[in-house]
Amino acid sequence: MIYQNETSIIGKFQKTHALKGELNAILNISEEFVREQNALIVEMDGLLVPFYAMSIRPKGSTSYLIKLDGINNENEAKVFVNKNIYALKSELAPFLELEEEDMMNEEDLVNYSIVDVSNNKLIGKIESVDSTTDNLLFIVNSEAGDTIYIPAVEEFINEIDDDDKIILMQIPEGLLDLNKSNKKN
């Protein structure tokens, strides 16, 4: 059995492609990882299930067409649409030249505090991470008790301090105000 804490998200299946069971996928890892026959893990009925790619071909800079072993038509492929693609940390670690224990899941950042470095202000604590959209979002409980959505993008993150559980971010001006204006509606 594969457990969530043994995996990391490496992409997402978006839609089916053609009639032979190919899937359009966005990957945040090199296609070589897939070519080396590492398992592509997908949650099915609450269980993490490994699948293997028969083929992969680029469709853009991060988009690929992937044919999974045993998936032979569009109907079989439809069950993968909008599902995250996970990989075992043990398979990712050597590929990324990291130690397995140095790899983090987004969920590992829950309860980290976010500090805006532009004004050295504590924004709040991460209560969860939303990976259902194209951009990963930190869902933050602010000091005032409000819920704030902050894109978890590299450009905004200055530093992650694992010892003190703090993420230092350069939050663009006006981003926090967007959360307030949505609350009024």
Is-contact 108 162, C-beta < 8 A?
no
Show Cβ contacts of residue 60 under 8 Å, excluding neighbours closer than 6 positions. none
Q: Tell me, what DSSP letter sits at residue 153?
A: -
Q: What is the pLDDT of residue 97?
A: 56
Higher pLDDT, 144 or 104: 144
Q: How many CA atoms within 13 Å lie on the side-chain side of 73? A: 1
Task: Tell whether the model's pLDDT for residue 14 goes beyond 90.
Answer: yes
What is the band of 154 on the pLDDT scale with cuts at 50, 70, 90?
Answer: confident
Mean pLDDT over 77-88 rounds to 94
Q: How far apart are CA 34 and CA 4, in angstroms?
A: 20
pLDDT at 100: 44
pLDDT at 132 over 80: no
Confidence of residue 135 (pLDDT cuts 50, 70, 90): confident
More confident residue, 68 or 60: 68
SS3 of residue 116 by DSSP? strand
**104 pLDDT above the threshold of 70:** no
Strand 157-161 and strand 47-51: pairing?
unpaired
* Mean pLDDT on 172-178: 82
Residues 6+ positions from 76 with CB-CB distance below 8 Å:
21, 70
Res. 29 pLDDT band, cuts 50 70 90: confident
Nearest by Cα to 126 from 139, 143, 144, 135: 139
In the predicted structure, residue 185 carries a pLDDT above the cut 50: no
Give 159: exposed, middle or buried? Use CB within 10 Å, 0-12, 13-18, 19+.
Answer: exposed
Structural domains of the chain ordered from first start: 4-100 (2.40.30.60), 108-184 (2.30.30)
SS (H, E, C) 79-108: CCCCCEEEEEHHHHHHHCCCCHHHCCCHHH
